[in-house]
Amino acid sequence: MIKDQKPVYYSDYLHLSKLLDSQHPKSKEIGREAHDEMLFIMVHQVYELWFKQILHELKPVLKIFSRDFVEEHELGFVLSRFERVIKIQSLLQTQLEVLETMSPMDFLEFRDLLIPASGFQSVQFKTIETLFGLTTQTRYTVDRDSFLGRLKEGDKHQIESLEKQDSLFNLIEKWLLRMPFTEKHNFSFWQDYEKAVETMLSKDGSVIANNPYTSDFEKKIQQDYLQTTRLSFQSLFDDKIHDDLVSKGLRRLNRPALLNALFIFLYREEPLMHLPYKVLNALIDIDENFTSWRHRHSMMAHRMLGTKIGTGGTSGQDYLKKAADKNRVYLDLFNLSTYMIPKAALPKLPERLKKEMNYHYKTEEDTSITPSSSDLNNTN
């Protein structure tokens, strides 16, 4: 026990008198309290508490990736923060189940008293989205127009200020750019990878052409799909194609960062690639969970409101569904699966490079190279 520590009382430590006196139904103020408004308030307050915790987890992660050099042991810390966010997201999903114990008619007892308040005005959630990399310009078009319009001026300026700073997306992109292993020791991985891809696609084309069990019509469809796949792979190697996808909003990461992320996914079993892979995969999980939560929210809105407009003035369920489909941040990482090739076809890494990507320790008899634990961030 800490010396001279004063006794701590449970309710004082948690400020329960303040916390439990923070539910004030609007329906009660007009003399006809709606029973389920208490639940509605409570669920949304708990959401805001969890949003606060997510922001608390994000702040040290942003600080780590803001540095020019990230130690591997710090990636373990980052991963633990992401894993906690993922667990919190699972709670966000299940809270909707509690809210759905309220019937549409129960909601109508107090709904009109809330106008124009809505989840649009959750500054904490907008902060989370902005820090993760969902900016005003990368949002669903309708959402983009209304993103800041429903906020008070002070809150609006706060979000606008955040958008001028590097988001986690920007910082992850810079971190990926620093990975040195694809162009090292007179070895160019992408030349070998491009050859492996061409071999794979040529083999697929031969299988389609020589399959005796498919009609000419079916072969034509399969060949068209193969050509689409070929063009998709070409976007990895051609700046012009890549930049065209970026201009259309179909890709966000710059090409070298995208290639380095793909390398991490392809060689995730190499010791120095394993933690970076898990960090990127956790970002996919977080993005997927927020998308699922938005979809779940849109379904609940449909169940509660039908086709009525939302209290914030949107088209309600229809808007929420479209926003869930469009407001994704790490779509480039999801799309990396497009560029996976069979493990047996992966280019073989030079022995020296492979050794640098492993935890290799010198013994008295061993004079081979010992890599730094921070090689992932070494730009030399």
Which carries the bigger pLDDT value, residue 262 or residue 324? 262
∠ Cα 85 290 89 (to 5°): 35
pLDDT in tens, 2-25: 777 889 999 999 999 999 999 999
Can you say whether residue 4 is alpha, beta or left, with left for phi > 0 and alpha for psi between -120 and 50 degrees? Answer: left
Answer whether residue 378 shows pLDDT above 60: no
- Residue bearing tokens 């849109």: 298
The answer, yes or no, to whether residue 311 has pLDDT greater than 70, is no
For 210, counting Cβ atoms within 10 Å of its Cβ (0-12 exposed, 13-18 middle, 19+ buried), the class is exposed
- Bond into 116 cis (ω within 30): yes
* For residues 96-104, average pLDDT: 93
Over residues 108-146, the pLDDT tens digits come to 999 999 988 888 889 999 999 999 999 877 776 555 556
pLDDT at 185: 76
Q: Give bridge partners of residue 187 from the DSSP assignment.
A: 184
Q: Which residues contact 298 (CB under 8 A, 6 or more apart)?
A: 317, 320, 321, 323, 324
Spatial distance between the Cα atoms of 268 and 274, rounded to a whole number of angstroms: 5
Q: State the pLDDT confidence band at 47, using cuts at 50, 70 and 90.
A: very high
Q: For 62-86, what is the mean pLDDT?
A: 95
Q: What are phi and psi of 59, to 5 degrees?
A: -55, -50
DSSP letters spanning 172-208:
HHHHHHT--TTEETTEEHHHHHHHHHHHHHHHHHHHH
Could you tell me which of 325, 182, 321 has the C-alpha nearest to residue 261?
182
Selected residue with higher pLDDT from 312 and 372: 312
Count of residues making up the chain: 380
How large a percentage of the chain has pLDDT more than 90? 67
DSSP code for 1: -
Euclidean distance between CA atoms 30 and 379, whole angstroms: 66
What pLDDT, in 10s, does the model give residues 155-176? 989 988 999 999 999 999 999 9
Both tokens assigned to 234: 């070409």
Which residues does 307 contact at the CB level (< 8 Å), separation at least 6?
316, 317, 318
| Strand blocks (E) in 95-163 | none
Q: How far apart are CA 193 and CA 171, in angstroms?
A: 27
Q: Rounded CA gap, 19 and 41, in Å?
A: 12
Say which range, 30-39, 97-106, 251-260, 371-380, has the weakest mean pLDDT.
Answer: 371-380
Q: What is the reported pLDDT for 72?
A: 83
Distances (CA, A) of 220 to 92, 214, 216, 338, 375: 46, 10, 6, 21, 47
Angle (CA) 178-183-189 rounded to 5° is 120
Residue-level pLDDT at 373 = 40
Question: What domains can you pick out in the chain, each with its CATH number?
Answer: 15-377 (1.20.58.480)
pLDDT value for 144: 56
DSSP type of residue 367: -
CA atoms within 13 A on the CB side of 32: 4
Q: Dihedral sign, CA of 306, 107, 22, 299?
A: negative
- Does 245 score more than 70 pLDDT? yes
Taking the C-alpha atoms of residue 351 and residue 268, their distance in angstroms, rounded to an integer, is 17
196-230: pLDDT as tens digits: 999 999 999 999 999 999 999 999 999 999 999 99
What Å distances lie between residue 42 and 14, 38, 93, 104, 127, CA to CA? 17, 6, 15, 18, 21
- pTM metric for this prediction: 0.87
Phi-psi region of 70 (alpha: psi -120 to 50; beta: other; left: phi over 0): beta
With 70 as the cut, is the pLDDT of residue 369 above it? no
